[in-house]
Structure 1
Amino acid sequence: MAESSRVSDEGDDEASRPYRPGYELVAEQLLDHIAERGLRPGDRLPTEQGLAEILGATRNVTREAVKVLAAIGRLSVRRGAGIFVAEGGGGLVDDQLLQFRPTSMEDVLMLLDYRSVIEAETARRAATLATPIEVRTIRESAKVSLEAALRYDGHAFARADEAFHDAVGAASHNVFLRSSVAGVRRLASQSDVLLFHGDAPGSLEVAARQHLAIAEAVSAGEAELAGRLMVEHIATTQSQFERKIRDRLFNLGDRPAPGAPAGGGEAESPPHSSAS
């Protein structure tokens, strides 16, 4: 079983440091390996055993890391052919985004900064352009997110959260903005899996009440207020990501040394993904 580690305000003692599953450490190392070597979509990686030797991990833990990276779309595992860097959409921008590191402070902050710019604009446009049916869809998805939050149903919240942001994007009446919102959230979901093990990064109720406030601003046609509230909503998410990544940085010493088993050498099941 992967060793657990925790960090607290009081100190760095073993009992209070955040849990770092072995497959998470190795998945993180594998993404770094791909980026450092400039591997491109479609490039073939070594076998599981070869990767285990490169990363200083056991084969079982490496297999779980490969599984979770395949599940979030970063690797492609082809039976009988091998392990490959996942293909993008074929464009230069898509290929560059495949270098996104879901546990890197720099990359996550750039992503959230871009998300703030894009989603603030979709909210402003939605407040100006949304039809009555679109306003109702936005409000209903916000209410469903609050209901899910109050009963601590993370999976239901994730579905409602995705529906809310997509509804705001649709109400902007700009297919490129809507597509950008969806693409950015797909990248953010990779961080959810590796940093939060599929859980939402912060208080579900706080996020849901922010949804409701944005929905009311859109309904009232308050474009600047809707944009400002969306920026605040994403800033809340950003603070949670920053805290989690800072916790991770305290545990860099827990990385397996070359030649040493990662996470105690025993495989763990990868997490289930959910949007935040």
Structure 2
Amino acid sequence: MAAATQVPGEGDDDASPRYRPGYELVAEQLLNYIEEQKLRAGDRLPTEQGLAQILGASRNVTREAVKVLAAIGRLSVRRGAGIFVAESTGGLVDDQLSHFRPTSMEHVLMLLDYRTVIESETARRAASLATPIEVRTVRECAESSLEAARAADGYAFARADAAFHDAVGAAAHNVFLRASVANVRRFASQSDVLLFHGDAPGSLEVAAGQHLAIAEAVAAGEADLATQLMVEHIATTQSQFERKIRDRLFNLDGRGTSGAPAQPPRSAGAADEPSSPETSAS
């Protein structure tokens, strides 16, 4: 049965052990199972009881894992019909991305590499093309993120963080770049749920300070500086993910022997809401 598993606090300022709820570990195993079985969007999975047997977990823990994966858009639960791999919006690329593994170092690094390419360019264009109203919006979102960080309000920070990056994307005056920013952050949020829930994130104030610096570079029309600052901002996020994934490797294959399921993240009821107060500082 997958239990809440202790994880060493390697590399943290706080050396106390951390624990990963059983449903998070089973959610990882379930995503791996989907990939190993080469299941595609729309394919039906076994019942909760069947999955519990396959994954070596209790039915209660398996149910919570299914809820989490449904909340982040990876599974679809249809009353009276069963559990399915969530439908993609169509196209080969979407089908390939349906196997994105939120806790895989390789996949997360590819995602962050892509994010660096996309968001550095949006920052460059925003600094060159932003209107006075767009500059004000970018700055206001950055200031809101700092206020939330100082108040230690993770939910408010998550909203301000998303608004800031969207505002920079809007100021780049390219709908495809803006949509790409939103899409890549959607995948990153899946990693947030499975890697950061219940754990202290990186410093929100540091991230908010980076937002402000980017906003000022955009306001000043300094395209090269805005690009550099955005690259550094995403590198900070990357270091957080790398640390969390390294810690995950100490989970002894993600399997425990006993224990009750922890409560799922708040996002289990609303996929489009920030996952938890411990959202990554991105």
Q: What TM-score bracket applies, with the shorter chain setting the length?
A: over 0.9
**What residue is the counterpart of 2:266 in the other structure?**
272
SS in 1 for 2:152: coil
Displacement of 1:43 after TM fit? 0.2
Letter paired with 1:248: R
Displacement of 1:92 after TM fit? 1.2
Aligned residues: 266
SS in 2 for 1:84: strand
**What residue is the counterpart of 2:271 in the other structure?**
none
TM-score by length of 1: 0.92
Gaps of 5+ in 2: 268-273
Distance 1:240 1:71, change over 3 A: same
**What residue is the counterpart of 2:216 in the other structure?**
216
TM-score by length of 2: 0.90
Distance 1:2 1:59, change over 3 A: same
Q: Is the 8 A contact 1:154 1:200 kept in 2?
A: no
Across the aligned residues of Structure 1 and Structure 2, the Cα RMSD in angstroms comes to: 1.8
Distance 1:267 1:6, change over 3 A: closer
Q: Is the 8 A contact 1:18 1:247 kept in 2?
A: no
SS in 2 for 1:45: coil
Displacement of 1:91 after TM fit? 1.4
Map 1:76-91 → 2, pairs under 5 A: 76-91=76-91
Distance 1:159 1:212, change over 3 A: same
Displacement of 1:212 after TM fit? 0.2
Map 1:1-276 → 2, pairs under 5 A: 2-9=3-10, 16-197=16-197, 201-256=201-256, 264=258, 266-273=260-267, 274=274, 276=280
Distance 1:199 1:120, change over 3 A: farther
SS in 1 for 2:83: strand
Gaps of 5+ in 1: none
Q: Is the 8 A contact 1:135 1:215 kept in 2?
A: yes
User: CA offsets, 1:166-212, max 9 Å, x none?
Assistant: 00000000000000000000000000000001777411000000000
Q: Is the 8 A contact 1:5 1:16 kept in 2?
A: no
Letter paired with 1:7: P
- In structure 2, how many angstroms separate the alpha carbons of the residues matched to 1:245 and 1:94? 24
SS in 1 for 2:84: strand
Letter paired with 1:6: V
Displacement of 1:17 after TM fit? 3.4
Letter paired with 1:98: S
Displacement of 1:269 after TM fit? 1.8
- In structure 1, how many angstroms separate the alpha carbons of the residues matched to 2:82 and 2:253? 31
Distance 1:9 1:40, change over 3 A: closer
Letter paired with 1:269: Q
Displacement of 1:103 after TM fit? 0.5
Calculate percent identity across the aligned residue pairs.
Answer: 79
Displacement of 1:230 after TM fit? 0.2
- In structure 2, how many angstroms separate the alpha carbons of the residues matched to 1:2 and 1:36? 23
- In structure 2, how many angstroms separate the alpha carbons of the residues matched to 1:239 and 1:164? 21
Letter paired with 2:260: E
Q: Is the 8 A contact 1:138 1:164 kept in 2?
A: yes
SS in 2 for 1:76: strand
4+ residue runs of structure 1 moved beyond 3 angstroms? 1-4, 198-201
User: CA offsets, 1:81-107, max 9 Å, x none?
Assistant: 000000010111111111100011110
Letter paired with 2:55: L
